Structure 1
Amino acid sequence: MEHTWRWFGPKDPITLADVRQTGATGVVTALHEVPNGAVWTVEAITERREAIEAAGLTWSVVESIPVHDDVKRRAPGYERWLESWAQSVRNLAACGIDVVCYNFMPVLDWVRTDLAYPMPDGALALRFDQDAFAAFDLFLLQRPGAEADYTAAETERAHRHLESMTPPEVDRLVATLAAGLPGSEEVWTLDALRAELEAYAAVDDAALRSALVEFLEAVVPVAAECGVRLGIHPDDPPRPVLGLPRIMSTAADARWLLDAVPQEASGLTFCTGSFGVRADNDLVAMVEEFAPRIHFAHLRSTRREGDGRSFHEAPHLDGDVDMVGVIEALAREERRRADHGGARIPMRPDHGHLLLAEQTSERAAAVPGYSLVGRLKGLAELRGVERAVHRQLG
């Protein structure tokens, strides 16, 4: 596989020179400064690509071109955002970039409640705590209708959780959930978040699925013509949140989409951490089934807690993910492609722990989940497994 590294652009505290030393050869990045819906120009893409190449690296994958929320809820005039997205794909192809990761999660992208959860070995991890999330939803955001989404026991636990928090802890929870995480498309105040959720009041599971298919029917022909592969990222966490539908959480969801839009240019960003949160997702079987349509891989592991609704980021070779099995299945697909002139499979380590001196570093703390040392450790482990798997396959 092609070993890549997510980089958040010129403002990322981790420099391209740092990335070069990790052993990664490809960069996964985006024009984060471009507003949602605006076209990525050839000039801006070229400038970013040339900076990456000057550091001895390759711009391997775009993560992500944000899909405007108007498209997801089919707000009046949403069609213009379809053409803007397609034009960005054309411009990326003209600059030699051929893999685009995107997601179709409404309003919020990936969600965590704790950015520095202490692990037994002293590392700090990202965590999603269901009781903390319910406390935010029910009592801080005070989302209309939220009480219908929780049992009486869950509501009571959420209330007790909130009562146990100090004011700074409450402020930190609100900031973590509403202010956005690395790669998030928007930053919300509580009032703005309530308004955005209200705008989705009429969007149910079926409506969001229909909108996704319409989006892909508009952009996939362009991607196919340009030689670009599109990979949808699964929901994170893989279930409805804040009353919003989530439609890319299970093997059945992935199967539905690949059948609904059968063109090879439309595929998956296979995130083992997101899919792995659900015990009913057999990740190795999913890789084996969907292998020809996996265009990009996020390799990370999560550990479910209690009933599975809470979870934390585990070490890359630990947790609930059979990482060795996943890498073996990807390696087999990589070999099949090599025999048939198929495309490469970029992969990157994801959501590394905060380790060692970086725990007191402002540079590392600036991008939660994207520390240098934690991801470097993960990449080294993943590369070792991959090398061993290929040797075993002969």
Structure 2
Amino acid sequence: MRIALLITPFTDQNLQRAAQIGVTDIVSVYPGLDLNYLLELRKRVESFGLRLSAVERLLPTLKFIHNLPGRDQQIEDFKTLIRNMGKAGVSTLCYSWMPADDWQRTDLEAAERGGAKVTAFEQDKPSSVPTDTGYRKESNDSTSAERLWGNLEYFLKEVVPVAEESGVKLSMHPDDPPVENLRGQPQIMTSPEAYERMVKIVESPSNGICLCQGTMAASAREYDIPATIKRLAPYINYAHFRDVVGSGSSFRESFHDNGKSDMVACMNAYHEAGIDCPIRPDHVPTLAGETNEYPGYHMLGRLWAVGYMRGLMQAVESQKP
């Protein structure tokens, strides 16, 4: 496993900090469709001794998720992004099939250890959305689960061959929160079974998953996360390392060492399965002195999380016979 970081804000100082604390891989949000921009971004990252290895978040996807007007053009744009990533040597594209804009929370300032701020979700409260792709569904009608699956099949049959040709690994992120119905809109990517169904639609190393531990841990089904990692290991192209307290319709995020999961066993599961892909700390608490302008994505919590992850990795690797 290689520790990756999605940096907010994306400054040279934060890139240098990432290199200093032992990060090897950098993740970019959606870079647009300009190949030259992506090549310059890679050059900038590499100037700090780091590798630009993944793209995720803020991707324009809702037209093909819901089969809205402009679907095929949005798929063609997605293919262009994949081809550009291949040309730039960026190997991993993390996306989701979330029918809303992005991950959903109802509280952006829930209390964690020492007064740190984390995000939380309560099913019966209105959303307080921390991120927005800038595009909303053009219809108030919900898209059925059956139609979401049909739209996904159409999409995968179009884009997976392009990903194979480009040397890019697609990594499906689960719906967050992992509830089957979010305010009247069905969601389909909420379980290991859904992941297994998805990868069988087009069987390819380029059609894989992002194993988001925190999302799986938040499920009402109370999954054994280390066992889930081992179960889905053949399909894991990317991973998010985080945890929560609570589950189902009520949960909050936590420090990585203060949640419900056995994080030592989780890291050991990746190691035992022989998984070698980027893994990032994902959402982190906002600490004292930070503005909480970017809930889950401030830098102090990331610095702490990377140190914790590196310690776990070294401990797990030291157990080699």
TM-score, normalized by the shorter chain, greater than 0.5: yes
Within 5 Å, which residues of 2 pair with 1:266-285?
A: 266-280=207-221, 281-285=223-227
- Give the secondary structure class of the aligned counterpart of 1:60: strand
Answering whether residue 68 of structure 2 is matched by residue 75 of structure 1, we say yes
Distance across 2 between alignment mates of 1:120 and 1:78 = 44
Specify the alignment match of 2:311 in structure 1. Answer: 384
Contact 1:65/1:85 (<8 A) preserved: no
Does 1:287 pair with 2:236? no
Report SS of the residue matched to 1:116: strand
| Residue identity in the other structure for 1:28 | V
Higher helix share: 1
Note the 1:1-394 alignment, pairs <5 A: 1-8=1-8, 10=10, 15-31=14-30, 34=32, 40-64=33-57, 66-131=59-124, 133=125, 136=126, 176-177=128-129, 180-181=130-131, 184-186=132-134, 196=137, 199=139, 201=141, 203-239=143-179, 240-280=181-221, 281-304=223-246, 308-334=248-274, 344-355=276-287, 359-362=288-291, 365-394=292-321
Name the TM-score, length of structure 2 as normaliser: 0.92
Q: Which amino acid aligns with 1:285?
A: A
- Distance in 2 (CA, whole Å) between partners of 1:65 and 1:265 is 21
- How many residues are paired up? 319
> Displacement of 1:64 after TM fit?
3.7
Per-residue CA distance 1:188-246 (angstroms, 9 max, x = gap): xxxxx6xx3x6151520010011111111100001111211100011110012121121
Q: Give SS of 2:93's match.
A: strand
Change in Cα spacing, 1:258 to 1:87, as seen in structure 2 (3 Å) is same
Which is richer in strand? 2
The CA distance in 1 between the partners of 2:159 and 2:9, in whole Å, is 25
How far 1:185 sits from its partner (Å)? 1.3
Q: Secondary structure at the match of 1:121?
A: helix
State which drifts further: 198-207 or 100-109.
198-207
Aligned-CA RMSD value? 2.1
TM-score, with normalisation over the residues of structure 1? 0.76
| In 1, Cα distance between equivalents of 2:93 and 2:186 | 23
Task: Please tell me whether the aligned partners of residues 275 and 283 of structure 1 are also in contact (alpha carbons under 8 angstroms).
Answer: yes
Deviations 1:152-174 (A, max 9, x none): xxxxxxxxxxxxxxxxxxxxxx7
* Structure number with larger C-alpha Rg: 1
Q: How far 1:19 moved relative to its partner?
A: 2.2
The ranges of structure 1 where at least 4 consecutive aligned residues each deviate by more than 3 angstroms after the TM superposition are none
Cα 1:252–1:200 shift into 2, 3 Å: farther
Structure 2 gaps, min length 5: none
- Give, in whole Å, the separation in 1 of the partners of 2:9 and 2:77: 22
Contact 1:114 1:128 in 2 (8 A): yes
Alpha-carbon offset, residue 18 of structure 1: 2.6
Contact 1:303 1:312 in 2 (8 A): yes
- 8 Å CA contact retained: 2:58, 2:133: no
Tell which deviates more after alignment, 87-96 or 114-123: 114-123
**CA apart distance, 1:115:** 1.6
Q: CA deviation at 1:320?
A: 2.0
Paired residue secondary structure (1:185): coil
Distance 1:76 1:372, change over 3 A: closer
The 8 Å contact of residues 8 and 298 in structure 2, kept in 1 or not, is answered as no
Structure 2: distance between partners of 1:85 and 1:42: 13
Q: Give the fraction of aligned pairs with identical amino acids, expressed as a percent.
A: 31
Distance in 1 (CA, whole Å) between partners of 2:75 and 2:280 is 28
**How far is 1:250 from its partner?**
0.8
Q: Secondary structure at the match of 1:90?
A: helix
Mapped to 1, the partners of 2:13 and 2:246 lie a distance apart of 30
Q: Is the 8 A contact 1:349 1:378 kept in 2?
A: yes
1:21 positional shift? 2.6
CA distance in 1, matches of 2:253, 2:154: 34
Does the CA contact (< 8 Å) of 2:271 and 2:316 recur in 1?
yes
Shift of 1:130: 3.1
Q: Which has the higher contact order (CA 8 A, sep 6+)?
A: 2
Is the CA contact (8 Å cut-off) linking 2:66 and 2:151 kept in structure 1? yes
